Amino acid sequence: MAYNTVFIISNEPAIRDALAELVIAAGFHAATFLSLKACLDVLRPEPHCCLVLDNGIDDKLEPDRQANFTSICSKIPVLVLTERGDIPAAVNAIRQGALDVIQKPLQHENILERIKSVVSARIKR
Amino acid sequence: MSKKPQQTVFIIDDDEAVRDSIKELAESVGLKAECYTSAPAFLDAFEPVQPGCIVLDVRMAEMSGLVLQSKLNALGYTTPVIVITGHGDVPMAVQAMKNGAVDFIQKPYRDQFLLDSINSALEQDAATRPLSTVENDLDKHLAELTKREKEVLAHLQAGSTAKEIARALCISPRTAEAHRRNLLQKLGVSSVKKLILLLTPRKERNQDS
């Protein structure tokens, strides 16, 4: 694998840092962003990559969020983080094209396993 | 589109009160509804050619709604499925949605919410119901036409002659004839008359849907 970047989008620094640290320790590159739009502007999908989107990012700051989200899902495998039990958010994420949904609080082993599985889902596609 | 009288809402729930309330809800907006008390009862009775959508409960005796959903998928049935449940969680919602559910709704729900979901499921069903094979082939051939050939086709459908088409598209009559010949060949018909005949049922279909 030449490149295997995990793109991480969250407006919570703690989540960005924790995820970045986690994926770097597992041998991935990490690229963190504050918003979908910022990520979409620079996104260059590689053969082995995925995107982790924290669903908690502020909707009001991004009126075009839905369109951005759908667009990003068509380019790269997406894994969405939701609040525990937020079924409508999970349903919406999958409907828009996300491959998987993980509930917060995050468990390290679990999230790494799911990241690897969406990355390999991309390769199979 | 969604209010076609022949579309049916198939309701599968082991709770009589829920079945009745969804049936009433569907009928209140003029939709046909059929109720089933269990997944096997539904599988026995269901004919996939019937247009409509399926509203199913997750927790049922004998066979759960999610198992029923995968069975329907395995059988190749494309009727849209709405999953409702009183005991849902995120992994269950993700599973149902990944298996192609149109929606995953938690009880208690607002009537209008379920109705909106049913309507969009019916729309999806109307849009994806497989066309007959002849029309499928036609779709494939139509996709193979070049941009110019599509323009010529539109003019032919409007009844224009090769000369008129040539004038409208600023090309020579000979070129217009060549386009016409090529597109007839691509669509596998021998004359413009047959071409119009082939395309007519599709037009009518689009109008009444």
For residues B37 and B91, membership in a common domain is answered with yes
Residue-level pLDDT at A24: 94
For residues B45 and B109, membership in a common domain is answered with yes
**Residue B170, domain CATH:** 1.10.10.10
**ipTM confidence:** 0.85
Taking CA atoms, A5 is separated from A29, A117, B117, in Å, by 4, 14, 37
- Chain A interface mutation, best of B81, B87, B89, B97, highest count of A Cβ atoms under 10 Å: B97
Domain count for chain B, please give it.
2
> Which residues from B are below 8 Å from A81, CB to CB?
none
Residue-level pLDDT at A124: 57
Question: How confident is the model over A79-103, as a mean pLDDT?
Answer: 91
Looking at A111-125, B40-54, B59-73, B189-203, which range is the least confident one? Answer: B189-203
> Which residues from B are below 8 Å from A101, CB to CB?
90, 93-94
Residue-level pLDDT at B133: 45
CB B144 within 8 A of CB B182: no
For residues B144 and B116, membership in a common domain is answered with no
Dihedral angle at the C-alpha atoms of B167, B168, B169, B174, nearest 10 degrees? -30
Of B128, B158, B188, which residue is a domain's last? B128
For residues B90 and B151, membership in a common domain is answered with no
Of B71, B94, B128, which residue is a domain's last? B128
Distance from the Cα of A2 to chain B's closest Cα (Å) equals: 30
For residues B43 and B71, membership in a common domain is answered with yes
Structural domain includes residue B3: no
CB B12 within 8 A of CB B44: no
Q: What domains are there in chain A, each with its CATH number?
A: 5-124 (3.40.50.2300)
Residue-level pLDDT at A69: 87
Q: Would you tell me the crossing angle of helices B192-208 and B133-144 to the nearest 10 degrees?
A: 110
Q: Do B94 and A101 touch (CB under 8 A)?
A: yes
A22-35 pLDDT tens trace = 999 999 999 999 88
For residues B75 and B138, membership in a common domain is answered with no
Q: Which residues of A touch B (CB under 8 A)?
A: 82, 84-87, 90-91, 94-95, 100-101, 103
Look up the domain containing B183 and give its range.
133-208
Instruction: Check whether B2 has a pLDDT greater than 80.
Output: no
Question: How confident is the model over A76-102, as a mean pLDDT?
Answer: 91
B148-182 pLDDT tens trace = 998 999 898 888 888 899 999 999 999 999 999 99
Structural domain includes residue B2: no
Give percent above pLDDT 70 in chain B: 89
For residues B82 and B160, membership in a common domain is answered with no
Question: How confident is the model over B52-59, as a mean pLDDT?
Answer: 96
Residue-level pLDDT at A1: 46
CB A87 within 8 A of CB B93: yes
Of B128, B146, B177, which residue is a domain's last? B128
For residues B90 and B162, membership in a common domain is answered with no
